[in-house]
């Protein structure tokens, strides 16, 4: 069904690259099956797929009343979907057709929301192709509103309907535009933009909690002035970078994540490369701490700093 849709321009270019992708979206996470798809799978007659589906599906009786999580796919010992073929492509789509995909599989990596009957579509950056299109465009992210084919099986993550008060919907748009303008303001370092956005949302939350909605429009105007005020922008340079705190947080997060284990060998390789690159595996005496900070700073400048 054609529907007016707001989307970042990169979504017009996005298309699943299938077997050419360096990763797979069919491993390492629980793949829920909606009730309608579960019933279709139970009626499959193709011998090979019938057996795989019978062995590969489990009813989710803990959420019996939730149609979206009616069942789930049993991953194999490598945490892969057992319905993948030898080329790493979806066996269901290959043998039964795209219309037989579950809502979760048909939707991913798209993120679909509805605001006042207008669809909004973006993508999850866990998809390498979507991440490339979104993050590697030197021109940044622009948005367009156009008619887009929205499939009925796609999951709508959030919906804000016409029943919401007009003033709230108007505020929503103003807030979103400001947030995007702050993040895209390249006169400031990305870290400073995030700090500024955090300061804004902190004040915004205070007004929302106190239901002082009349103050929000003035707050938006205030931050547009700040965003173009050289003195305010320069004030962020007075904030000292705390490398000790940053490396400590990264070290602790890596250690916590490692104790949970990884679902794929590739993720383990990425983890080990990061540990080696930052020398996180060394004993944490003072000298090693300083070395970690040096490596963190060096890698940031060489690989991540704009």
Same-domain status, 248 and 124: no
Highest mean pLDDT among 76-80, 166-170, 179-183: 179-183
125, 156, 187: which is the final residue of a domain? 156
Domain-located, residue 151: yes
Q: Report the b/e string of 136-149 with b at 16+ CB within 10 A.
A: eeeeeeeeeeeebe
Same-domain status, 212 and 175: yes
Domain-located, residue 161: no
pLDDT > 80? residue 81:
yes
The answer to whether the CB of 106 falls within 8 A of the CB of 151 is yes
Name the domain count of the chain. Answer: 4
pLDDT at 42: 94
Query: Average pLDDT, stretch 116-136?
Result: 93
Same-domain status, 182 and 149: no
Same-domain status, 13 and 145: yes
Same-domain status, 132 and 5: yes
Query: Average pLDDT, stretch 247-275?
Result: 78
223, 238, 253: which is the final residue of a domain? 238
Same-domain status, 35 and 101: yes
pLDDT at 170: 83
Task: Sort 91 into a burial class: Cβ within 10 Å, 0-12 / 13-18 / 19+.
Answer: buried
The answer to whether the CB of 141 falls within 8 A of the CB of 187 is no
pLDDT digits (tens, 9 = 90+) for 198-248: 999 999 999 999 999 899 999 999 999 999 999 999 999 888 888 788 878
SS3 of residue 46 by DSSP: coil
The answer to whether the CB of 26 falls within 8 A of the CB of 94 is no
The answer to whether the CB of 14 falls within 8 A of the CB of 131 is no
d(Cα 84, Cα 102) in Å, to the nearest integer?
A: 14
Same-domain status, 184 and 212: yes
Same-domain status, 47 and 87: yes
Same-domain status, 170 and 101: no
Does the reported pTM lie above 0.75? Answer: yes
SS3 of residue 236 by DSSP: helix
pLDDT > 90? residue 143:
yes
Confidence band, pLDDT 50/70/90 cuts, at residue 286: very low
Range name among 6-10, 73-77, 92-96, 286-290 with the lowest pLDDT average? 286-290
SS3 of residue 8 by DSSP: strand
Query: Average pLDDT, stretch 114-121?
Result: 89
DSSP 8-state symbol, 84: B
Domain-located, residue 259: yes
Domain-located, residue 201: yes
210, 238, 266: which is the final residue of a domain? 238
Same-domain status, 14 and 126: yes
The radius of gyration of the chain from alpha carbons, rounded to an integer in Å, stands at 24
pLDDT > 90? residue 254:
no
Domain-located, residue 54: yes
Same-domain status, 277 and 297: yes
Domain-located, residue 136: yes
pLDDT at 178: 97
Which of the two residues, 33 and 289, has the higher pLDDT score?
A: 33
pLDDT at 241: 81
Domain that holds residue 287: 243-304
The answer to whether the CB of 5 falls within 8 A of the CB of 153 is no
71: number of Cβ within 10 Å: 23
Identify the H or E element spanning 71.
strand 71-73
Domain-located, residue 60: yes
pLDDT > 70? residue 157:
yes
Same-domain status, 9 and 53: no
pLDDT at 284: 52
Domain-located, residue 275: yes
């Amino acid at each position: 069904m054609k529907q007016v849709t707001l989307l970042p321009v990169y979504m017009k270019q996005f298309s699943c690259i299938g077997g050419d992708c360096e990763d797979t979206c069919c491993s390492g996470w629980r793949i829920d099956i909606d009730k309608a798809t579960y019933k279709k799978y139970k009626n499959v007659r193709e011998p090979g797929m019938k057996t795989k589906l019978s062995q590969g599906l489990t009813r989710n009786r803990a959420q019996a009343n939730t149609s979206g999580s009616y069942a789930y796919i049993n991953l194999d010992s490598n945490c892969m979907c057992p319905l993948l073929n030898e080329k790493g492509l979806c066996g269901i789509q290959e043998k039964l057709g795209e219309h037989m995909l579950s809502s979760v599989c048909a939707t991913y990596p798209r993120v679909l929301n509805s605001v006042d009957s207008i669809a909004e579509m973006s993508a999850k950056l866990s998809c390498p192709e979507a991440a490339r299109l979104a993050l590697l465009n030197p021109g940044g992210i622009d948005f367009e509103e156009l008619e887009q084919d929205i499939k009925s099986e796609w999951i709508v993550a959030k919906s804000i309907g016409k029943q919401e008060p007009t003033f709230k919907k108007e505020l929503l748009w103003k807030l979103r535009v400001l947030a995007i303008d702050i993040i895209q303001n390249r006169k400031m370092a990305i870290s400073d933009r995030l700090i500024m956005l955090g300061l804004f949302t902190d004040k915004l939350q205070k007004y929302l909690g106190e239901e002082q909605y009349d103050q929000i429009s003035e707050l938006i105007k205030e931050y547009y002035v700040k965003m173009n005020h050289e003195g305010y922008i320069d004030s962020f340079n007075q904030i000292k970078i705390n490398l000790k705190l940053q490396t400590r947080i990264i070290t602790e997060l890596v250690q916590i994540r490692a104790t949970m284990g990884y679902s794929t060998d590739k993720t383990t390789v990425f983890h080990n490369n990061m540990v080696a690159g930052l020398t996180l595996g060394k004993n944490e005496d003072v000298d090693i701490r300083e070395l970690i900070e040096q490596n963190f700073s060096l890698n940031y400048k060489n690989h991540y700093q704009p």
